Structure 1
Amino acid sequence: MANTSAKKIAAQNEAALKNLLYGQVANNIIALIVRLLYRSLGRPNSITAIVFSLITLGLSQFIYTRLTSMGKPRRDASGAVVSPGDDLNQAGVTEWMFDVLYISWAVQVGSAVLGEWVWWIYAVIPAFAAYKLWGLAAPFLGTRSASEEGENVPMEPLSKRQEKLKKRSDRGDPRVKVQTRRA
């Protein structure tokens, strides 16, 4: 039972990697078939569409192999989990890699079906990065937070015990010690 967490992460990673493989293969086949059908119908693919398709294919393949190398569990000869790999469900860069991969798949198939204007969806990625960077840099740039502006910021709900102590304190009950924070 000591290895239960590692087994759980390994099982989740294996399922996620299997789904990623199916998605990667299906995405590439669909995009290729649609582009070949357009060509057979007399609508030639432009050079820019082919170049962008290759760039998107390279990006999605790079991210796919990176996620595979990160999340693939290692097992010994008996099948026991030696290392579960990195947790692919973790937030942060791994989550963003999945987002970029999904956007790449959507752009690949969408550009094959709907046209070259779908490439503009890639603008979402730097826009999101700028939004995240602004949120991280705002405290250092001197912008004020909502609490400093005097706006009503929702507080965490108090537990029953904290509510009881607050009521006692408001009544002036001597059993409640009021602690002040030192700056």
Structure 2
Amino acid sequence: MAQKAAKTLATRNGALLNRTHMISATLHVLFLVLHQIFQRPRSLKPYFLLAVPTLLIEYYLDRVGRPSYNEDGSLRSAGEDLNATGLTEYMWDILYWTQGCIVAVCVFNDRAWWLWAVVPLYSVYLAYTTVMGVKKGFAGMGGGAGEGAGDSEGAKSKREMKKEKRGDRAKVRTR
């Protein structure tokens, strides 16, 4: 049972990469065949501009996540975790969104490439929420000064709230 986690990661990465390559190849070939059959009046510029860079992302994910084996079949390296959060997760989002856009272009027409505009908008949204979260985190470091100072009067303990709810507020004595 040596390196069970590494073997599991290698198996999961290999299966995920193989499935992704098959889906991606199928969609790209389908798009190019449909483009040739129907002789669409538009050029392939949107395809090369928007879909081909995702092939570079797919290549990068394959280089980073593909497990490598020794000559005797033993596992040398399981590769990086392709389910990791952060930039890897964002790359998978771009890859899946582009595959969806290719399907939309095959079904509808070349105007469906405008769906790809969601990616930069999503990036701006993520950046905004991150900045606001950091700003809110720094605002709480004031140590009770500023806007949080007036809230301490209105804050009640759970015990006080329960007593007030029962109507026992008048029975509370202060010494």
Both proteins in one fold, TM over 0.5: yes
Aligned partners of 2:65 and 2:78 also within 8 Å: yes
Aligned partners of 2:101 and 2:113 also within 8 Å: yes
User: How far off is 1:113 after superposition?
Assistant: 2.8
Aligned partners of 1:63 and 1:101 also within 8 Å: yes
Deviates more, 1:74-83 or 1:112-121: 112-121
Q: Name the residue aligned to 1:46.
A: 42
Q: Separation in 2 of the partners of 1:139 and 1:20?
A: 34
Q: Separation in 2 of the partners of 1:128 and 1:97?
A: 13
User: How far off is 1:101 after superposition?
Assistant: 0.7
Aligned partners of 1:64 and 1:101 also within 8 Å: yes
2:10 pairs with 1:14: no
The count of residues paired between Structure 1 and Structure 2 equals 144
Out of 113, 119, 125, the residue aligned to residue 113 of structure 2 is 119
Aligned with 2:130: secondary structure?
A: helix
TM-score, length-scaled by structure 2 = 0.73
Give the alignment's Cα RMSD to 1 decimal.
2.5
Aligned partners of 2:31 and 2:102 also within 8 Å: yes
Aligned partners of 2:42 and 2:110 also within 8 Å: no
Instruction: Please tell me whether Structure 1 or Structure 2 has the larger radius of gyration of its CA atoms.
Output: 2
Provide structure 2 residue ranges, at least 5 long, that are not aligned to the other structure: 141-147, 152-157, 163-175
CA 140–12 in structure 1, closer or farther in 2 if over 3 Å, else same: closer
Q: Name the residue aligned to 1:105.
A: 99
Moved over 2 A (4+): 139-145
Aligned partners of 1:27 and 1:105 also within 8 Å: yes
Matches within 5 A, 1:3-152: 3-39=3-39, 44-47=40-43, 50-141=44-135
| CA displacement, residues 72-128 of structure 1 (integer Å, 9 cap, x when unaligned) | 111101111111000111122111111101111122232233112211211211111
| CA displacement, residues 45-83 of structure 1 (integer Å, 9 cap, x when unaligned) | 313xx1011223321211110110011111101111111
Higher helix share: 2
